[in-house]
Structure 1
Amino acid sequence: LSQADARSPLPAMTPEERLLADYEAIGLTVGPHPMAYCRRRMRAAGVRRATELARLPHGRRVRVAGAVIVRQRPATAKGFVFRSLEDETGIANVIIEPDVFERYRLMLVEESFLLVEGVLQNVDGVISVKAARLEPLAALAAIESHDFH
């Protein structure tokens, strides 16, 4: 091909467009994690990265956000449900009490990206966030979760 033939008549994709194209085509990306694209906005909103949680004290009010990669609703958990949120640094585990689940049921079932505000539980190196309030994040990509009921 000549140099002129090798050029695309289309404008180059933005990193965000490339991310969406990757997820639509193959269900994953080898590029930056979707949360990396909104980290500046998340930091301004007081959202912590998953890897920061281990350095914070038990009982601290925190905000975390990420792609919902695991949904669990064990029959033996007395109505408690669990979510694992993945950001560009790791995974934050979220505990959701039955009343909070009922309040946010539709969001918890349907949204692929969540922002969670709650209380950090840091006991014997086991880190989780007990959710008090949740909000959806604009879908950055169509990420599939692993759902266990």
Structure 2
Amino acid sequence: MHRRKALWEVSALQDMPVELFKGQASESKLETQMELPLMSKGEQVVQDYATVGLSLKAHPVSFVRPQLDMLNTKSCHTINNDATNGQLVKVAGLVLVRQQPGTAGRVCFITIEDEIGYSNLVVFEKLFETYGKEILHSIILQPQKSDA
């Protein structure tokens, strides 16, 4: 059975009659059966990440790549292979690792991944002071609409 139907069936297992209603059929067994629409690939990926924290179907960033391209956001692979030292670039991805060693002051080191590869980010104190909450708590980082 397809995933949405399986999820529906699993949720119906929780609909078990208790004490006063023991022996009576559950309402879910009496309901008219209907065909549920198939989940899109994006819905499957969201469900995978919600349940196990990863997906073998696709990477979440792949679904927003056209919008990221419109924002002139490069893939991690492109940045790792084509960017020069000191060049200003935009990148987006899921946060894999976030470190803020005590010896580094307010500098934060982040590793992100997109559908093609990974990149290491260094967030300096000034940026951290402005966006510290977002930097520490976001699971996906993406650029603002501005060109900065």
Give the structure-2-normalised TM-score: 0.70
2:133 corresponding residue in structure 1: 106
Task: Spell out, residue by residue over 1:51-108, the C-alpha distance to the aligned partner (whole angstroms, 9 max, x if none).
Answer: 1112122222110000011110011213211111110111111101112111101111
Matched, 1:80 2:107: yes
RMSD value, Cα: 1.9
- 3-state DSSP class of the match of 1:63? coil
Q: Which runs of 5+ in 2 are unaligned?
A: 1-33
Q: CA deviation at 1:116?
A: 4.5
Higher strand share: 1
Identity of aligned residues (%): 30
Structure with the greater relative contact order (CA < 8 A, sep ≥ 6): 1 or 2?
1
- Name 1:64's counterpart in structure 2: 91
Q: Which amino acid aligns with 2:45?
A: L
CA distance in 1, matches of 2:59, 2:48: 11
Q: Structure 2 CA distance, aligned partners of 1:46 and 1:25?
A: 32
In 1, distance between residues paired with 2:66 and 2:72?
A: 10
Q: Distance in 2 between matches of 1:103 and 1:25?
A: 32
Larger radius of gyration: 2
* TM-score normalised by L of structure 1: 0.69
Separation (CA, whole Å) in 1 of partners of 2:53 and 2:93: 17
> Structure 1: which 5+ residue stretches go unaligned?
1-7, 118-132, 134-149
- Correspondence for 2:117: 90
Q: CA–CA distance in 2 between the matches of 1:68 and 1:26?
A: 16
Matched, 1:24 2:23: no
1:10 aligned to which of 36, 57, 69: 36
CA shift digits 1:13-72 (9 cap, x unpaired)? 011110111112222110111111111111111000001112122222110000011110
SS at match of 2:67: helix
1:52 to 72, 78, 90: 78
Q: How many residues align?
A: 112
